[in-house]
Amino acid sequence: NAGVTQTPKFQVLKTGQSMTLQCAQDMNHNSMYWYRQDPGMGLRLIYYSASEGTTDKGEVPNGYNVSRLNKREFSLRLESAAPSQTSVYFCASSAQGLSGNTIYFGEGSWLTVV
Amino acid sequence: GIQVEQSPPDLILQEGANSTLRCNFSDSVNNLQWFHQNPWGQLINLFYIPSGTKQNGRLSATTVATERYSLLYISSSQTTDSGVYFCAVARGSTLGRLYFGRGTQLTVWP
């Protein structure tokens, strides 16, 4: 019943610190994604993993790295945080079914870099 | 990438009113989805509608793929409809690789 779970929900970092956002899904989906949302904007894709063992860059990958640990888990790492990375981060997973593509989002992680 | 434009950017309604939200996109797509983001930030998938018309209760959506636009209709709006409505599109085999519009902020007053 959990769907997509991401942690932490809130984090404050100092410029130059590193951190990892964790994401797990329990729906047996092949594809997973990391998006960021800035104020007044739609979501923008950072990285995605079409299937276990593969990762690809999205629209805004600079400053981030990802790891598809297994089919369930997809983590996002900020190696040296910058104020421009202050944002809300959403993890998502998707599957293609008979009714089309269904994508499920986590509840978001609010990250502030000071 | 694909450009997605949504209009209007803001919409304020009285409870019970109807509304139409529009999404224009710049290229052919094989995935179009409408999402609702509630005031707590949660994103809910409303429709997967790369073409045609679908209805779900008071909501319906129509996509005219050849003319590169989609419409979301909300009838008899309720305060719980408030939030931001996003249109997102994709092409290719990874259908979750979405390009989002900036959204329509809907506020419904009682």
- A-B interface: how many C-beta pairs under 8 angstroms? 63
B38 close contact with A: CB closer than 8 A: no
CA-nearest residue of chain B to A100?
A: B48
pLDDT tens per residue across span B45-60: 999 999 999 999 999 9
Scan residues 45-64 of B and list those with Cβ closer than 8 Å to A. 45, 48-50
CA–CA dist B72, B61 (Å, integer): 4
Q: How many residues does chain A have?
A: 114
Contact B64, B50 (CB under 8 A): no
CB contact under 8 A, B101 and A42: yes
pLDDT of residue A100: 63
B18 touches chain A (CB under 8 A): no
Calculate ∠ Cα A42-B43-A52, nearest 5°. Answer: 90
Query: For A43, which residue in chain B has the nearest alpha carbon?
Result: B100
Averaged pLDDT of chain A: 93
Chain B contacts of A103, Cβ < 8 Å? Answer: 33, 45, 96, 98
Q: Do B100 and A31 touch (CB under 8 A)?
A: no
Whether the per-residue pLDDT at A97 is higher than 80: the answer is: no
Q: Answer whether residue A1 shows pLDDT above 70.
A: no
Q: Give the per-residue pLDDT at B96.
A: 79
Question: What's the maximum distance between 2 C-alpha atoms anywhere in chain A?
Answer: 46
Contact A79, A59 (CB under 8 A): no
What pLDDT shows up at residue A40?
A: 84
- Do residues B83 and B11 make contact, with C-beta atoms less than 8 angstroms apart? no
State the smallest CA–CA distance between residue B49 and chain A in angstroms: 8
How does pLDDT run across A2-41, given as a tens digit for each residue? 799 999 999 999 999 999 999 999 999 999 999 999 988 8
Q: Does A60 touch chain B (CB under 8 A)?
A: no
H or E element: which one contains B72? strand B69-74
Task: Yes or no: say if A52 and A71 are a contact pair by the CB < 8 Å rule.
Answer: yes
Residue B95 scores a pLDDT above 90: no
**What are the backbone angles phi and psi of residue A83, rounded to the nearest 5°?**
-55, -30
Instruction: Name residue A86's amino acid.
Output: T
Adjacent-strand bridge partners of A35: A45, A90
Separation of alpha carbons A10 and B45, rounded Å = 24
Task: Report the distance separating Cα A48 and Cα A31, nearest Å.
Answer: 7
Name B34's bridge partners: B47, B87
Q: Which residues pair with B88 in a beta bridge?
A: B33, B100
Q: Which residues of B touch A101 (CB under 8 A)?
A: 31, 33, 48, 90, 95-96
Q: For the segment B23-45, what is each residue's pLDDT rounded down to a tens digit? A: 999 999 988 999 999 989 999 99
Q: What is the pLDDT of residues A60-78, one digit of tens each?
A: 999 999 999 899 999 999 9
pLDDT tens column, B61-84: 999 999 999 999 999 999 999 999
Q: Give the least confident one: A27-31, A95-99, B90-94.
A: A95-99
Nearest to A34 by CA among A14, A58, A51, A15: A58
Beta strands in A38-86 (DSSP E): 43-49, 56-57, 64-68, 74-78
pLDDT of residue A110: 97
Residue A50 has pLDDT above 80, yes or no: yes
Kindly determine whether residue A42 and residue B1, on different chains, have CB atoms separated by under 8 Å: no
